[in-house]
Amino acid sequence: MGEQTSVKFPQEVLDEYAALGVDLPALFSAGHLGTRMGVQILEASAERVVGTMPVEGNTQPYGLLHGGASAVLAETLGSVGSMLHGGSGRIAVGVDLNCTHHRGARSGLVTGVATPVHRGRSTATYEIVISDEQDRRVCTARLTCLLREVDDAGRARTVADITEAKGRAEA
């Protein structure tokens, strides 16, 4: 459970990170929590991120998929899309997550598909639809991420930090 399969990235994204000396597929994962929960990313681009998660091991006391597990899947997929939209010079940090749970799932895999609602310079918002194996909608989520610039030392900076630094430099 949680073992990563080969993620399909667009070639231009692979090339961008390879030019920086980063092997994106080797670096990429759903994080420690996602791995513990069995999240697997199947496809990843700024336009669409697809991932799965088993229901088993991620249930609440009634045996249904835990709403928090759906939230983990949704935030993982939306964050990946936001990160790919921001490119190698930015990191994506989730600032708002909203989940509506439509039905329960008791077994099998759920699949999440994240698609952009808004992709701006400083924020990105994705809608994530999570469905069961019968293609019935289990959850609809929306995630907004702040895109933070990364400076030469690898530290994340907000757009406000950059504007403030430019103002000091011009003074």
Phi, psi of 50 (to 5 degrees): -125, 135
Instruction: Calculate the dihedral angle through the C-alpha atoms of 146, 79, 85, 17, rounding to the nearest 10 degrees.
Output: 110
Instruction: Return the CA Rg of the chain.
Output: 17
Say if CB 97 and CB 104 are below 8 A apart.
no
Question: Which positions are annotated as active-site residues?
Answer: 75
* Token pair listed for 19: 């030019």
Cα distance between residue 19 and residue 5, in whole Å: 23
Q: Which of 46, 9, 10, 39 is nearest to 25 (CA)?
A: 9
Q: State in Å, rounded, how far the first CA of the chain is from the last one.
A: 56
State how far Cα 106 lies from the chain centre.
Answer: 24
